[in-house]
Structure 1
Amino acid sequence: MVRCDAVGLVVADMAASVAFYRRLGLVFPEGAEAQPHAEAEVGGGLRLLLDTEETVRSFHAGWRPPAGGYRTAPAFRCASPADVDVVYRDLVDAGYHGELEPWDAFWGQRYAVVHDPDGTGVDLYAPLAAQ
Protein backbone atom coordinates (compact mmCIF):
# COMPACT_ATOMS: atom_id res chain seq x y z
CA MET A 1 0.00 0.00 0.00
CA VAL A 2 1.21 3.51 -0.82
CA ARG A 3 0.27 6.68 1.05
CA CYS A 4 1.35 10.30 0.85
CA ASP A 5 3.77 10.87 3.72
CA ALA A 6 5.33 14.23 2.87
CA VAL A 7 5.33 17.18 0.50
CA GLY A 8 8.72 18.55 -0.48
CA LEU A 9 9.65 22.05 -1.56
CA VAL A 10 12.96 23.16 -3.07
CA VAL A 11 14.04 26.45 -1.51
CA ALA A 12 16.65 29.05 -2.41
CA ASP A 13 17.18 30.30 1.15
CA MET A 14 16.60 27.80 3.95
CA ALA A 15 16.61 30.40 6.74
CA ALA A 16 14.01 32.55 4.98
CA SER A 17 11.80 29.55 4.22
CA VAL A 18 11.98 28.13 7.74
CA ALA A 19 11.09 31.58 9.14
CA PHE A 20 8.08 31.84 6.80
CA TYR A 21 6.68 28.39 7.62
CA ARG A 22 7.36 28.85 11.34
CA ARG A 23 5.23 31.99 11.11
CA LEU A 24 2.43 29.70 9.89
CA GLY A 25 2.84 27.55 12.99
CA LEU A 26 5.09 24.73 11.78
CA VAL A 27 7.71 23.55 14.25
CA PHE A 28 11.16 22.93 12.80
CA PRO A 29 14.04 21.69 14.95
CA GLU A 30 16.31 24.36 16.38
CA GLY A 31 19.07 25.08 13.91
CA ALA A 32 17.02 23.91 10.90
CA GLU A 33 17.56 27.26 9.20
CA ALA A 34 21.26 26.42 8.78
CA GLN A 35 20.76 22.92 7.34
CA PRO A 36 20.45 21.80 3.70
CA HIS A 37 17.32 19.76 4.57
CA ALA A 38 14.61 20.48 7.13
CA GLU A 39 11.24 18.97 7.92
CA ALA A 40 8.24 19.67 10.11
CA GLU A 41 5.04 17.82 10.94
CA VAL A 42 2.01 19.50 9.42
CA GLY A 43 -0.64 17.29 11.02
CA GLY A 44 -2.27 13.97 10.33
CA GLY A 45 1.13 12.34 9.94
CA LEU A 46 2.05 14.50 6.94
CA ARG A 47 5.39 16.32 6.83
CA LEU A 48 6.67 19.36 4.94
CA LEU A 49 10.19 18.80 3.63
CA LEU A 50 12.44 21.68 2.63
CA ASP A 51 15.59 21.10 0.59
CA THR A 52 17.97 23.75 -0.68
CA GLU A 53 18.57 24.08 -4.41
CA GLU A 54 22.17 22.98 -3.78
CA THR A 55 20.97 19.80 -2.07
CA VAL A 56 18.72 18.89 -4.98
CA ARG A 57 21.48 19.60 -7.51
CA SER A 58 23.79 17.28 -5.53
CA PHE A 59 21.74 14.28 -6.70
CA HIS A 60 19.97 15.78 -9.75
CA ALA A 61 22.50 17.90 -11.62
CA GLY A 62 20.01 18.98 -14.29
CA TRP A 63 17.42 20.36 -11.87
CA ARG A 64 16.32 23.94 -12.55
CA PRO A 65 13.77 26.08 -10.72
CA PRO A 66 10.42 26.46 -12.50
CA ALA A 67 10.00 29.60 -14.58
CA GLY A 68 6.87 31.69 -14.92
CA GLY A 69 4.92 30.42 -11.93
CA TYR A 70 4.59 27.66 -9.38
CA ARG A 71 3.03 24.22 -9.53
CA THR A 72 2.74 23.44 -5.84
CA ALA A 73 0.54 25.33 -3.38
CA PRO A 74 0.64 24.22 0.24
CA ALA A 75 -2.72 25.00 1.82
CA PHE A 76 -3.11 26.04 5.45
CA ARG A 77 -6.53 25.81 7.08
CA CYS A 78 -7.21 28.65 9.48
CA ALA A 79 -9.43 28.37 12.56
CA SER A 80 -12.09 30.70 11.17
CA PRO A 81 -12.82 32.96 8.21
CA ALA A 82 -11.67 35.95 10.30
CA ASP A 83 -8.36 34.18 10.98
CA VAL A 84 -7.66 34.03 7.24
CA ASP A 85 -7.60 37.83 7.28
CA VAL A 86 -5.43 37.94 10.41
CA VAL A 87 -2.85 35.44 9.11
CA TYR A 88 -2.77 37.08 5.67
CA ARG A 89 -2.24 40.54 7.17
CA ASP A 90 0.48 39.23 9.54
CA LEU A 91 2.42 37.73 6.64
CA VAL A 92 2.01 40.75 4.35
CA ASP A 93 2.97 43.12 7.18
CA ALA A 94 6.08 40.97 7.72
CA GLY A 95 7.08 41.67 4.11
CA TYR A 96 5.77 38.61 2.25
CA HIS A 97 4.00 39.14 -1.07
CA GLY A 98 0.21 38.94 -0.90
CA GLU A 99 -0.94 37.41 -4.19
CA LEU A 100 -4.70 37.34 -3.49
CA GLU A 101 -6.28 39.29 -0.66
CA PRO A 102 -8.83 37.41 1.45
CA TRP A 103 -12.21 37.00 -0.20
CA ASP A 104 -15.29 34.84 0.13
CA ALA A 105 -14.81 32.28 -2.64
CA PHE A 106 -17.76 30.81 -4.50
CA TRP A 107 -16.73 27.31 -3.35
CA GLY A 108 -17.57 28.21 0.27
CA GLN A 109 -14.26 29.30 1.78
CA ARG A 110 -12.64 32.49 2.97
CA TYR A 111 -9.54 32.24 0.80
CA ALA A 112 -6.25 34.09 0.24
CA VAL A 113 -2.81 33.44 -1.25
CA VAL A 114 0.58 34.64 0.03
CA HIS A 115 3.94 33.84 -1.57
CA ASP A 116 6.66 32.16 0.43
CA PRO A 117 10.25 33.45 -0.01
CA ASP A 118 10.66 31.42 -3.23
CA GLY A 119 7.44 32.68 -4.80
CA THR A 120 5.44 29.54 -4.09
CA GLY A 121 1.80 30.36 -3.55
CA VAL A 122 0.60 29.36 -0.10
CA ASP A 123 -3.18 29.08 0.25
CA LEU A 124 -4.87 30.28 3.43
CA TYR A 125 -8.48 29.22 3.89
CA ALA A 126 -11.34 28.51 6.26
CA PRO A 127 -14.82 27.21 5.53
CA LEU A 128 -17.48 29.92 5.52
CA ALA A 129 -20.37 29.53 7.95
CA ALA A 130 -23.40 27.81 6.47
CA GLN A 131 -25.91 30.36 5.25
Structure 2
Amino acid sequence: MSTQTPGRRVRFDALGIATTDLTASLAFYRRLGLEFPEGAEHAPHVEAQVAGGIRLMWDVVPAEEAPAGGGGPQLAFLCDSPAGVDALYAELTDAGYRGTTPPWDAVWGQRYAVVADPDGNGVDLFAPLDAP
Protein backbone atom coordinates (compact mmCIF):
# COMPACT_ATOMS: atom_id res chain seq x y z
CA MET A 1 0.00 0.00 0.00
CA SER A 2 1.38 3.42 -0.97
CA THR A 3 1.24 6.27 1.50
CA GLN A 4 2.30 8.90 -1.01
CA THR A 5 0.09 11.86 -1.76
CA PRO A 6 -1.05 11.90 -5.42
CA GLY A 7 1.22 14.17 -7.46
CA ARG A 8 4.00 14.04 -4.87
CA ARG A 9 6.90 11.64 -4.99
CA VAL A 10 9.18 11.01 -2.04
CA ARG A 11 12.31 8.87 -1.95
CA PHE A 12 14.94 8.21 0.65
CA ASP A 13 17.91 10.43 -0.22
CA ALA A 14 20.21 10.89 2.77
CA LEU A 15 21.10 9.84 6.28
CA GLY A 16 22.34 12.44 8.74
CA ILE A 17 24.76 12.06 11.63
CA ALA A 18 25.08 14.70 14.35
CA THR A 19 28.62 14.91 15.70
CA THR A 20 30.39 16.94 18.34
CA ASP A 21 33.82 16.13 16.83
CA LEU A 22 33.78 16.23 13.04
CA THR A 23 37.52 15.54 12.73
CA ALA A 24 37.23 12.31 14.74
CA SER A 25 34.05 11.22 12.97
CA LEU A 26 35.47 11.74 9.46
CA ALA A 27 38.71 9.95 10.40
CA PHE A 28 36.63 6.93 11.52
CA TYR A 29 34.54 6.83 8.33
CA ARG A 30 37.62 7.31 6.12
CA ARG A 31 38.92 4.04 7.60
CA LEU A 32 35.71 2.46 6.27
CA GLY A 33 36.45 3.72 2.75
CA LEU A 34 34.35 6.88 2.54
CA GLU A 35 35.91 9.87 0.82
CA PHE A 36 35.61 13.49 1.84
CA PRO A 37 36.94 16.68 0.29
CA GLU A 38 40.23 18.12 1.54
CA GLY A 39 39.61 20.33 4.58
CA ALA A 40 36.16 18.86 5.26
CA GLU A 41 37.00 18.72 8.98
CA HIS A 42 36.62 22.50 9.16
CA ALA A 43 33.11 22.68 7.68
CA PRO A 44 29.86 22.77 9.69
CA HIS A 45 28.25 20.30 7.22
CA VAL A 46 29.90 17.49 5.22
CA GLU A 47 28.45 14.96 2.77
CA ALA A 48 29.68 11.74 1.18
CA GLN A 49 27.99 10.00 -1.73
CA VAL A 50 27.65 6.24 -1.28
CA ALA A 51 26.50 3.39 -3.51
CA GLY A 52 22.98 3.74 -4.79
CA GLY A 53 23.14 7.53 -4.75
CA ILE A 54 22.42 7.85 -1.03
CA ARG A 55 24.19 10.67 0.78
CA LEU A 56 25.60 10.45 4.28
CA MET A 57 25.66 13.85 5.95
CA TRP A 58 27.48 15.07 9.05
CA ASP A 59 26.49 18.18 10.98
CA VAL A 60 28.43 19.60 13.89
CA VAL A 61 26.35 20.11 17.04
CA PRO A 62 27.37 21.52 20.41
CA ALA A 63 28.04 18.83 23.03
CA GLU A 64 25.05 19.94 25.10
CA GLU A 65 22.74 19.21 22.12
CA ALA A 66 24.14 15.75 21.34
CA PRO A 67 22.08 12.71 22.29
CA ALA A 68 23.45 11.08 25.46
CA GLY A 69 25.20 7.80 24.66
CA GLY A 70 24.79 8.12 20.90
CA GLY A 71 21.52 6.56 19.85
CA GLY A 72 21.77 7.83 16.30
CA PRO A 73 21.78 5.82 13.09
CA GLN A 74 23.14 2.31 12.77
CA LEU A 75 25.22 2.05 9.59
CA ALA A 76 26.25 -1.27 8.04
CA PHE A 77 29.36 -1.93 5.95
CA LEU A 78 29.65 -5.09 3.84
CA CYS A 79 33.13 -6.63 3.99
CA ASP A 80 34.59 -8.86 1.29
CA SER A 81 34.82 -11.95 3.49
CA PRO A 82 34.34 -13.19 7.06
CA ALA A 83 38.10 -12.73 7.57
CA GLY A 84 37.65 -9.15 6.33
CA VAL A 85 35.17 -8.52 9.16
CA ASP A 86 37.72 -9.76 11.69
CA ALA A 87 40.54 -7.71 10.14
CA LEU A 88 38.53 -4.47 9.97
CA TYR A 89 37.24 -4.91 13.52
CA ALA A 90 40.83 -5.44 14.73
CA GLU A 91 42.07 -2.41 12.74
CA LEU A 92 39.39 -0.13 14.17
CA THR A 93 39.68 -1.32 17.77
CA ASP A 94 43.50 -1.24 17.57
CA ALA A 95 43.14 2.39 16.43
CA GLY A 96 41.24 3.12 19.66
CA TYR A 97 37.62 2.88 18.52
CA ARG A 98 35.29 1.04 20.92
CA GLY A 99 34.20 -2.41 19.82
CA THR A 100 30.70 -3.13 21.11
CA THR A 101 30.19 -6.61 19.61
CA PRO A 102 33.27 -8.67 18.72
CA PRO A 103 33.11 -10.68 15.48
CA TRP A 104 30.86 -13.74 15.64
CA ASP A 105 29.01 -16.07 13.29
CA ALA A 106 25.40 -14.90 13.39
CA VAL A 107 22.51 -17.33 13.04
CA TRP A 108 21.34 -15.47 9.92
CA GLY A 109 24.45 -16.57 8.00
CA GLN A 110 26.82 -13.63 8.41
CA ARG A 111 30.10 -12.92 10.15
CA TYR A 112 29.08 -9.88 12.17
CA ALA A 113 30.65 -7.29 14.45
CA VAL A 114 29.81 -3.81 15.73
CA VAL A 115 32.10 -0.85 16.44
CA ALA A 116 31.00 2.50 17.87
CA ASP A 117 31.95 5.62 15.93
CA PRO A 118 33.32 8.60 17.89
CA ASP A 119 29.77 9.79 18.66
CA GLY A 120 28.60 6.41 19.96
CA ASN A 121 26.65 5.39 16.85
CA GLY A 122 26.81 1.67 16.10
CA VAL A 123 28.54 0.65 12.87
CA ASP A 124 27.91 -2.92 11.74
CA LEU A 125 30.62 -4.83 9.89
CA PHE A 126 29.39 -7.96 8.12
CA ALA A 127 30.02 -10.52 5.38
CA PRO A 128 28.14 -13.64 4.28
CA LEU A 129 29.64 -16.71 5.94
CA ASP A 130 29.92 -18.40 2.53
CA ALA A 131 31.98 -15.53 1.06
CA PRO A 132 35.51 -16.58 0.04
Bin the TM-score by the shorter chain. 0.7 to 0.9
Per the alignment, residue 60 of structure 2 pairs with 52
TM-score (norm 1): 0.87
Q: Higher mean Cα deviation, 25-34 or 67-76?
A: 67-76
Structural mapping, 1:29-68, within 5 Å? 29-54=37-62, 64-68=65-69
Q: Which runs of 5+ in 2 are unaligned?
A: 1-8
Per the alignment, residue 26 of structure 2 pairs with 18
Q: 1:34: Cα distance to partner?
A: 1.0
Whose Rg is larger?
A: 2
Report the aligned-residue RMSD: 1.8
Whole-angstrom distance in 1 between the partners of 2:35 and 2:65: 28
Q: 1:71: Cα distance to partner?
A: 4.1
Q: Which runs of 5+ in 1 are unaligned?
A: 55-62
What is the percent sequence identity of the aligned residues? Answer: 61
Q: Decide whether aligned partners of structure 1 residues 21 and 32 sit closer, same or farther in structure 2, where only a CA change above 3 A counts.
A: same
Amino acid in the other structure paired with 1:128: L
Runs of at least 4 residues off by over 2 Å: 63-69
Q: Decide whether aligned partners of structure 1 residues 3 and 71 sit closer, same or farther in structure 2, where only a CA change above 3 A counts.
A: same
Number of positions where the alignment pairs a residue of Structure 1 with one of Structure 2 = 123
Per the alignment, residue 124 of structure 1 pairs with 125
Whole-angstrom distance in 2 between the partners of 1:105 and 1:95: 25
